[in-house]
């Protein structure tokens, strides 16, 4: 298998600390089932690099790829079913699959606890809050903590998509120093892209998928800081809202799939709106994250951040599939996110 280069090997560490090899299938494998190299190339160019990724792509989207006809898409879908089984699995199998899920620490043990151990893989974690609440600082800290192996996690590389031009390598080196890590090595392990438009932000995901595929199992975290900034600028007013939400839905759906396909954690930051109408209608929570239902439904865990005294910030679970609504405080320091001193 290894020598043909067709299967990418990914070593996951089990929760028990036991090492287990898991394979995911490269789209090249479809050659064995009558798909020609040119068509596989087209898939890859569209960011579809694994058989699972292909299964996750709708027929409509496949047909929109230049050079793929209806018939070819039929053939692709058929070849897919020959490579992997699709459909049901037992809850026990789900449980087995979830053993591959890992968590990345945030630098603050209290914040980790709030999230059940840290940022989870195969899921999207969203933090939102007003300016200066530490979203970008948390993003920077995760770039470093993602590289640190623990008993149940092997450590790995990070992709950082920056839409606000607030990424600062010197923050990474300062945080690396706190953890006694080699500063050059730490910087080398973070792949950075500055996004200029929402279209660019979406297109970059093709490259992200290609990178995750190329270095299978090496990347552990994808950060988007922030997810809405460009969508907010590129689409304005009610008239463009529907179009914006549709584009946004595609982006969110894509990062969700990437998180499952490559077993990586996805961390996104989001801005807030101060809804003037809400205050008048006596809503308990007049300030809401932006992006509406699309972001709400795609994010697995949503955390709100607010300012406390000085460098202290308070995080609250806003929505989670398995964690109660509680709060934790942390602080922002030169060495990144830390526990708040009480």
Residues that bind ligand ATP (CB under 6 A): 129, 131-137, 164, 166, 332-334
Nearer to ligand ATP, 214 or 334 (CB): 334
Q: Which residue is nearest to Mg ion (CB)?
A: 136
- Check if the beta carbon of residue 279 is closer than 8 Å to that of residue 237: no
The structure tokens 């989001």 sit at 270
Closest to Mg ion by CB, 166 vs 273, is 166
- Among 150, 257, 158, 268, which Cα is nearest to 215's? 158
141 near Mg ion (CB under 5 A): no
118 binds, among Mg ion, ligand ATP, none (CB under 5 to 8 A by kind): none
Residue 145's binding partner among ligand ATP, Mg ion, none (Cβ under 5 to 8 angstroms by kind) is none
CA distance readout (Å), 246 to 128, 233, 240, 287, 291: 21, 15, 10, 23, 11
N- to C-terminal Cα separation, the chain: 55
Query: Which partner from the list Mg ion, ligand ATP, none does 108 bind, CB cut-off 5 to 8 Å by kind?
Result: none
CB of 219 to ligand ATP, least distance (A): 23
In the block, tokens 């607010």 appear at 306
Q: How far is the CB of 189 from Mg ion (least distance, A)?
A: 21
Choice between 47 and 134, CB closer to ligand ATP: 134
Q: In terms of CB distance, is 50 or 133 closer to ligand ATP?
A: 133
Instruction: For the beta carbon of residue 170, count every other beta carbon within 10 angstroms.
Output: 10
Shortest spacing between CB 148 and ligand ATP, in angstroms: 20
CA 254 to chain centre: 9
**What is the CA 76 to chain-centroid distance, rounded?**
27
Min CB(314)–Mg ion separation in Å? 17
CB 227 within 8 A of CB 292: no
Binding partner of residue 194 among Mg ion, ligand ATP, none, CB cut-off 5 to 8 Å per kind: none
Closest CA to 48 of 262, 265, 297: 262
Reduced to 3 DSSP states, what percent helix, strand and coil does the chain have, rounded to the nearest 5?
40, 25, 35
Q: Which does 263 bind (CB under 5 to 8 A by kind): ligand ATP, Mg ion, none?
A: none
Per CB under 5 A, contacts with Mg ion among 157-176 are 166
Task: List the one residue out of 37, 57, 55 whose CA is nearest residue 46.
Answer: 57
Residues binding Mg ion: what is the number (CB under 5 A)? 3
Task: Give the contact letters, 89-128, x = binds to Mg ion (CB under 5 A), - = no.
Answer: ----------------------------------------
**Interaction of residue 136 with Mg ion, rule CB under 5 A:** yes
The footprint of Mg ion (CB under 5 A) covers 135-136, 166
């Amino acid at each position: 298998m290894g020598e043909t280069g067709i299967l990418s090997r990914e070593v996951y560490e089990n929760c028990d600390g036991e090492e287990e090899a898991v394979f995911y299938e490269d789209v090249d494998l479809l050659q064995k089932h009558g798909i020609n190299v040119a068509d596989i190339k087209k898939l890859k160019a569209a960011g579809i690099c694994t058989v699972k990724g292909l299964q996750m792509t709708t027929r409509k989207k496949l047909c929109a790829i230049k050079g793929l006809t209806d018939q070819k898409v039929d053939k692709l879908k058929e070849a897919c079913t020959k490579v992997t089984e699709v459909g049901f699995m037992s809850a026990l199998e789900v449980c087995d699959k979830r053993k591959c899920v890992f968590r990345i620490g945030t630098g603050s043990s209290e914040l980790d606890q709030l999230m059940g151990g840290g940022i989870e893989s195969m899921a999207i974690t969203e933090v939102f809050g007003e300016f200066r609440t530490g979203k970008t600082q948390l993003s920077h800290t995760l770039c470093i903590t993602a590289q640190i192996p623990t008993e149940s996690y092997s450590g790995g590389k990070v992709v950082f998509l920056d839409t606000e031009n607030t990424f600062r390598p010197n923050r990474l080196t300062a945080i690396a120093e706190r953890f006694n890590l080699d500063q050059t090595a730490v910087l080398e392990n973070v792949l950075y892209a500055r996004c200029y438009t929402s279209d660019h932000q979406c297109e970059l995901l093709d490259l992200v998928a290609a990178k995750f595929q190329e270095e299978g199992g090496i990347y552990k975290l994808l950060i988007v800081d922030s997810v809405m900034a460009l969508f907010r600028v590129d689409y304005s007013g009610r008239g463009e809202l529907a179009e914006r939400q549709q584009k946004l839905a595609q982006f969110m759906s894509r990062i969700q799939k990437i998180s499952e396909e490559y077993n990586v954690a996805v961390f996104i930051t989001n801005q807030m709106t101060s809804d003037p109408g809400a205050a008048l209608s006596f809503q308990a929570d007049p300030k809401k994250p932006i992006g509406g239902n699309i972001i709400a439904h795609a994010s697995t865990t949503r955390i709100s951040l607010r300012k406390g005294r000085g460098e202290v910030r308070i995080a609250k679970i806003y929505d989670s599939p398995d964690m109660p609504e509680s709060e934790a405080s942390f602080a922002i320091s030169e060495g990144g996110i830390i526990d708040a001193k009480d």
